[in-house]
Structure 1
Amino acid sequence: MPTVLIVGATRGLGASLAKQYVSQSARVFATSRSKDTPESTKDITYIPHIDVAKEDAGSKLAKHLGSISLDTIIITAGYFGTESFDEPSWEKQVKMYTTSAIGPVFIIHHLVKAGLLKERSKIILVSSESGSITLRHESEGGGNYGHHASKAAENMVGKLLSLDLKEKGVAVGIVHPGFMRTEMTKGVGFDKFWDDGGAVTPDEAAESLIKFIETFDIKHTGEYWAPRGPRDIGTAEAVLGKDLSTPLQLPW
């Protein structure tokens, strides 16, 4: 029975991943930022008070897990605060950078130092195509500096982790799971783009991500992928051309 840790698993993609991994007979550990969690079962254990934006998240998580060996770690926790050039937000940007690019380093550091990862373990950072500098196109315009730049920073974090962990046989992947119909995207007004943008449900995104993770290994460590291909990346054809593959390796 594989053991999977999902960081950020009480709603959206994380909740769907937990549900689907359990249906595939995996043992799942799922974190929540608050003290309120769903009820744990024999197959899924919820861990409260794990806030990726806090420095102690990694040490608290490692302490809770004890000596449990992890096959797969998926960090899905995220925060999206909209802003513009005319109205930038210091507070929102700091929170986005901390959640996307600082917190994951400390979480992985503590889990590795606690001996909870082994050769052939996999780490998946859920990023976004919005972190690709190459895919940013004039048709989109600017704005949302913290969102785009924190995801670009997360991509670099994934690449650097892959270099540090390669000798241990631990593979690190960075993924754009798809444009999703979630409370997060709705909360920033992106629900108006759901239909035209090909947005999918978290369950659909989770299914394709799990299939991708099954085939992902050390040969591809440090790479940046869209498991669902270009279908919901509005600038993909304008920048990369037509007849793109699925899954699609994304440019930095």
Structure 2
Amino acid sequence: MSSKVLIVGATRGLGASLRKLYTSKPSTHVFATTRSDKQPESQPHVSWIQNVDLTKPDVGHKLVSQLPSSLKLSTVIITAGYFGLESFDTPDWGKQVQMYTTSAIAPVFVVQQLAKAGFLGEGSKVILVSSESGSITLRHESEGGGNYGHHASKTALNMVGKLLSLDLKPDGVAVGLVHPGFMRTEMTKGVGFDKYWDDGGAVTPDEAAESLATFIDGFDISKTGQYWAPRGPRDIGTAEPVLGAGLSTPLQLPW
């Protein structure tokens, strides 16, 4: 049976790796979004959706207006994100607004528009890429404070996902929150986290995409509204200090 996958934020990092992974499956067609107004290079099994900017109020409308009217999506993965580095001494209003908008506001409008337009239905899966940094329980004094917008916007996203799961459960649509892993991306390098890649067990986006796709295969309505780390605790430095030893993979994360 063929499947239709929508990847929001498909041009780089985890989104690009997911796009490559899903298009390698002959029975899967990917609808991939880009912020650009230029058509990316044509690829087999990919339909590009342009001008999809998660910082704009019309993002949901812009997206659904470019999808085929008869489309039924099996999976939607919202991967797009922004990380603006902050400290207690240098909080940044603009960075925080962009992080909250991208991570926690835009997904509501994207998912709501997809549902209302009939692109989601019984058996559809919506995966919101969050982070273990959004877990209040896992925040530990060993890590200190700072990065307010990044951490708190992921916590807000977790609440958004939980609420969406309640709204969409009657329609048979499952909504999941995931920490895909600590990744070796331009985003983490851009905030200086590349110095933690080796000690922190960072993986490539391709590796994270493989484990995430496997998790999505087994994700269904019985897990809707839950928060998971498909790769387990291996790259979550506070997991064992807070939750103890012998943790499972995948790992259900605490809020």
C-alpha distance in 1 between matches for 2:37 and 2:14: 20
Post-superposition shift, 1:34? 1.6
C-alpha distance in 1 between matches for 2:43 and 2:233: 37
Residue of structure 1 in register with 2:51 after alignment: 49
C-alpha distance in 2 between matches for 1:36 and 1:184: 22
Residue of structure 2 in register with 1:20 after alignment: 21
Contact 1:39/1:46 (CA < 8 Å) preserved in 2? no
Question: Within 5 Å, which residues of 2 pair with 1:1-252?
Answer: 1-25=2-26, 26-67=28-69, 68-252=71-255
C-alpha distance in 2 between matches for 1:217 and 1:143: 35
Contact 2:125/2:174 (CA < 8 Å) preserved in 1? yes
Deviations 1:176-219 (A, max 9, x none): 00000000000000000000000000000000000000000000
Structure 2, unaligned runs of 5 or more: none
| Residue identity opposite 1:244 in structure 2 | L
Post-superposition shift, 1:37? 4.7
C-alpha distance in 2 between matches for 1:178 and 1:207: 11
Structure 1, unaligned runs of 5 or more: none
C-alpha distance in 2 between matches for 1:105 and 1:196: 35
Deviations 1:5-39 (A, max 9, x none): 00000000000000000112210010011224531
| Residue identity opposite 1:64 in structure 2 | Q
C-alpha distance in 2 between matches for 1:33 and 1:240: 39
C-alpha distance in 1 between matches for 2:117 and 2:3: 19
Post-superposition shift, 1:230? 0.2
C-alpha distance in 2 between matches for 1:242 and 1:129: 17
C-alpha distance in 2 between matches for 1:181 and 1:66: 35
SS of 2:47's partner is: strand
C-alpha distance in 1 between matches for 2:146 and 2:254: 21
Identity %: 73
Query: Normalised by the size of structure 2, how large is the TM-score?
Result: 0.97
SS of 2:122's partner is: strand
Deviations 1:93-150 (A, max 9, x none): 0000000000000001111110011100000000000000000000000000000000
Which runs of at least 4 in structure 1 moved beyond 6 Å after TM superposition?
none
Aligned residue-pair number: 252
C-alpha distance in 2 between matches for 1:92 and 1:122: 30
Contact 1:33/1:51 (CA < 8 Å) preserved in 2? yes
Contact 2:31/2:49 (CA < 8 Å) preserved in 1? yes
| Residue identity opposite 1:23 in structure 2 | S
Contact 1:10/1:37 (CA < 8 Å) preserved in 2? no
Contact 2:23/2:44 (CA < 8 Å) preserved in 1? no
Deviations 1:212-232 (A, max 9, x none): 000000000000000000000
Contact 1:8/1:32 (CA < 8 Å) preserved in 2? yes
How well do the aligned residues superpose, as a CA RMSD in angstroms? Answer: 0.8
Contact 1:74/1:124 (CA < 8 Å) preserved in 2? yes
